[in-house]
Amino acid sequence: MIVLGIESSCDETAAAVCVDGQILSSIVNSQEIHRRFGGVVPELASREHERFLNRIVEQALREAGISTSELDGIAVTQGPGLAGTLLTGVCFAKGLALSLDIPIVGVNHLEAHIFANFLAEPDLKFPFVCLLVSGGHTQLWYVGGLGNYRLLGESRDDAAGEAFDKGARVLGLNYPGGPAIEKLAQNGDPKAVDFPRAFIKTNILEFSFSGLKTALLYFMDGFSPEEGMSLSDVAASYQAAIIDVLVYKLNQAVRQTGVRTCVIAGGVAANKLLRSSVADVLGQDIKVLFPDIALCTDNAAMVGYLGEKYLNDGQNSKISFPIKPNFSLISER
Ligand code: KG4
Ligand code: ZN
């Protein structure tokens, strides 16, 4: 089956062509316009999608060597995400599907992040635990099969990506904060500042990052680089506090469920310290998977891949399907 995937849930305009589970092309345009605002401006993001969608889709088709008349279906992110940006992608996808008279399926963005791991490891077997760490979500999922998900725990407040983004703003770095903090932390001492690690001494599978962000804010109030500590040390310590908790809770989830495989998904999965720490802490007996870096952050390959599975199963959406800005993974499709 030849499926065009479209993603516009936040600030990446993306299109990809997936054929029988293989990605033939994946184009991502990360909107630069938000950098100077320290976060995504929803109205600007919608306008940028409107400006770029057509050419990104054309480029994806061209690179795949596929014409629109060859498409068997379209998969588009239905939610969760920003209402305006979701609308641009969904309206574009519906228009194309109607004009080509082909089926369309609305895809859950979080589910697509999880399934990006099948692109790294096509033989990945259910069940597994997934640590989903993006700009809007920090969740631990038990994944029993396609459409079979149990939430093991999540953040009570900020998501891990949000903690990176907000922390970066405090440190005077640009959006997105994750890569910026990771870069600054490279030569820093992660033990320089003892930032809080919420719930680390408990068995509950929950996260909280708002206290960490406040701790950074207070620390920076009294910070002076002349006193022997550099900004890199602060960034490294802040990054270590986030990653420690993620890895610790993932390990607990794996032990509590008894599964032998875990996967990491979402933008924060691109973080190198997270990648190395998970491997160190979970040990040889647990299989650990990460998608390729380009498939961790938002992309349409994961949308096309998952959409193809649903289309193959005859589970296409009605053309009148709505966007779902708060789409939860366990709600009805
Ligand atoms: O999955 P994603 O691209 O978009 C959402 O669905 O939210 O995740 C974006 C988040 C941002 O908060 C960004 O700062 C974070 O992922 N991120 C990272 C890294 N690359 C992106 N966080 C830590 N280290 C990175 N290398
Ligand atoms: Zn995402």
Q: What is the CA 114 to chain-centroid distance, rounded?
A: 9
pLDDT, position 331: 52
The reported pTM is 0.94
SS3 331: coil
Measured in angstroms, how far is the CA atom of residue 135 from the centroid of ligand 2? 7
Q: Which helix (H) or strand (E) holds 131?
A: strand 128-133
CB of 80 sitting under 6 A from ligand 1: no
Looking from the CA of residue 137, the nearest atom of ligand 1 is 7
Measured in angstroms, how far is the CA atom of residue 175 from the centroid of ligand 1? 10
What strand order describes the sheet that includes 73-79? 22-30, 12-19, 2-7, 73-79, 104-108
What strand order describes the sheet that includes 128-133? 148-154, 138-145, 128-133, 261-265, 287-289
Q: Cβ distance 295 to 49 under 8 Å? A: no
CB of 298 sitting under 6 A from ligand 1: yes
Q: What average pLDDT does the structure give for the chain? A: 96
What residue's CA is closest to ligand 1, atom 2?
267
Question: Where are the alpha helices (H) located in 71-204, listed in sequence order?
Answer: 83-100, 109-120, 160-170, 177-185
CB of 291 sitting under 6 A from ligand 1: no
pLDDT, position 35: 84
Nearest ligand, CA 159: 1
Closest CA to 93 of 317, 296, 326: 317
CA dist 301 and 330 (Å) reads: 22
Measured in angstroms, how far is the CA atom of residue 67 from the centroid of ligand 1? 32
Q: What is the CA 158 to chain-centroid distance, rounded?
A: 15
**Candidate from 164, 209, 271 with most ligand 1 atoms within 8 A of CB, to mutate:** 164
CB of 7 sitting under 6 A from ligand 1: no
**Candidate from 108, 134, 209, 213 with most ligand 1 atoms within 8 A of CB, to mutate:** 134
Q: Cβ distance 109 to 100 under 8 Å? A: no
pLDDT tens digits along 259-268: 999 999 999 9
Other Cβ atoms within 10 Å of 132 Cβ, number:
26
pLDDT, position 276: 96
**Candidate from 166, 293, 297, 303 with most ligand 1 atoms within 8 A of CB, to mutate:** 297
CA dihedral 163, 231, 293, 51 (to 10 degrees): 70
CB of 161 sitting under 6 A from ligand 1: yes
CB of 79 sitting under 6 A from ligand 1: no
pLDDT, position 217: 97
CA dist 87 and 85 (Å) reads: 5
What residue's CA is closest to ligand 1, atom 14?
178
State which amino acid sits at residue 60. A
Q: At what angle do helices 231-257 and 160-170 cross, to 10 degrees?
A: 170
* Segments of the chain scoring below 50 in pLDDT: 332-333
